[in-house]
């Protein structure tokens, strides 16, 4: 089992983690960024980014590459590790334990682990996952060329990914449990103008059905009348939200009813020395811009926290 000590351990290498790594490096801190996969996080699951300042339009994977290179330029050490737990010892040092057995120690941690797609929890969903059911349009869209598919959800992700999927699918149904979307007006305008998309209002999926070849259709229930219906599709993309990956932390921390971390204006959680940035914390909106803003504040706050900690130790 390897063990190493650092000034700060950054968990997650999405936009927030990479930005935090860049700022920590600029601050001459010994920072290690841990990511279970390739750097980029949700950027790797997004085709086009059109709302990041300075880039009228940029591919998600390209922005991820640029961010990673920028962080590494200033000394951030990005490592592929799957974090299991984050615990704090009595001496104030955090231990970040990984599945490989590696343990990273530091007086500060910035958690930028993002979230996991929320599942519908209906019969057939797990059975046909990977056989028609997906949570990533960029990853799996190309497998549905000239097919009729459905997207479930009403937020930015659902509306944006539905439009993206029309480049492959012949027909895309967007199923939403209400009679209006939560997505931004611009994204809605694009969706309504797309002839390949048909919106199915006031419906929820109650079951996913298929056979040995994969998904064949969805059972729907009207949220107003209670009437049931069937929708023949060979693909179903679920975009109904994310659950924050905060379960890594073994100690209790202040959070909202959905499990998102509550932080102060320095991005510090109720656990001194543990900071949160991006999709794991409570905030109004979750965008690339807000993630990097959080991370900027968190990384600079870490510098101040470490300075104050050293001063207290000397006093």
Active site (annotated) includes residue 139: yes
Catalytic residue (choose from 19, 98, 140, 236): 140
Compute and round to an integer the Cα radius of gyration of the chain.
Answer: 21
In terms of C-beta density within 10 A (0-12 exposed, 13-18 middle, 19 or more buried), how is residue 81 classed?
buried
Active site (annotated) includes residue 30: no
Is 217 within 8 Å of 233 (Cβ atoms)?
A: yes
Active site (annotated) includes residue 98: no
Catalytic residue (choose from 30, 47, 77, 136): 136
Say if strands 48-49 and 58-59 run parallel, antiparallel, or are unpaired.
Answer: antiparallel
Beta-carbon count within 10 A of 37 CB: 10
DSSP assignment of 61-94 equals HHHHHHHHHHHHHTT-EEEE--EEEEEE-TTS-E
3-state DSSP helix/strand/coil % of the chain, to nearest 5: 30, 30, 40
Q: CA of 308: how far to CAs of 22, 31, 103, 231, 284, in Å?
A: 22, 18, 25, 61, 31
* CA gap 60, 55 in Å, rounded: 11
3-state secondary structure 233-282: CCEEEECCCEEECCCCECCCCCECCCCCECCCCCCECCCCCEEECHHHEC
- Give the residue numbers annotated as catalytic, written as ranges: 136, 139-140
């Amino acid at each position: 089992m390897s063990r190493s000590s650092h000034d700060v351990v950054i968990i997650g290498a999405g936009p927030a983690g990479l930005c935090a790594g860049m700022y920590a490096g600029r601050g001459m801190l010994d920072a290690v960024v841990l990511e279970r996969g390739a750097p980029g996080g949700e950027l790797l699951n997004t085709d086009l980014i059109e709302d990041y300042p300075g880039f009228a339009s940029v591919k998600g994977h390209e922005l991820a590459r640029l961010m990673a290179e920028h962080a590494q330029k200033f000394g951030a050490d990005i490592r592929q590790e799957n974090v299991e737990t984050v615990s704090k010892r009595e001496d104030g040092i955090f231990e970040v334990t990984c599945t490989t057995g590696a343990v990273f120690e530091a007086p500060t941690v910035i958690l930028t682990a993002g979230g996991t797609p929320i599942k519908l929890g209906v019969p057939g969903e797990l059975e046909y996952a990977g056989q028609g059911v997906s949570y990533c349009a960029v990853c799996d869209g190309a497998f549905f060329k000239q097919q009729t598919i459905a997207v479930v959800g009403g937020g930015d992700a659902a509306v944006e990914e539905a439009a993206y999927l029309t480049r492959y699918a012949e027909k895309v149904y967007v199923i939403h449990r209400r009679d209006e979307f939560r997505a931004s007006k611009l994204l809605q305008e694009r969706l309504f103008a797309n002839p390949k998309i048909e919106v199915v209002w006031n419906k929820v999926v109650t079951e996913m059905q298929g056979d040995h070849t994969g998904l064949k259709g969805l059972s729907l229930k009207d949220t107003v009348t209670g009437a049931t219906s069937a929708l023949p599709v060979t693909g179903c993309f679920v975009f109904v939200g994310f659950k924050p990956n905060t379960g890594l932390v073994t100690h209790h921390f202040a959070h909202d009813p959905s499990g998102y971390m509550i932080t102060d204006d320095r991005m510090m959680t109720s656990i001194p020395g543990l900071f949160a940035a991006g999709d794991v914390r409570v905030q109004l909106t979750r965008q690339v811009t807000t993630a990097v803003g959080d991370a900027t504040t968190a990384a600079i706050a870490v510098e101040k926290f470490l300075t104050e900690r050293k001063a207290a130790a000397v006093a």
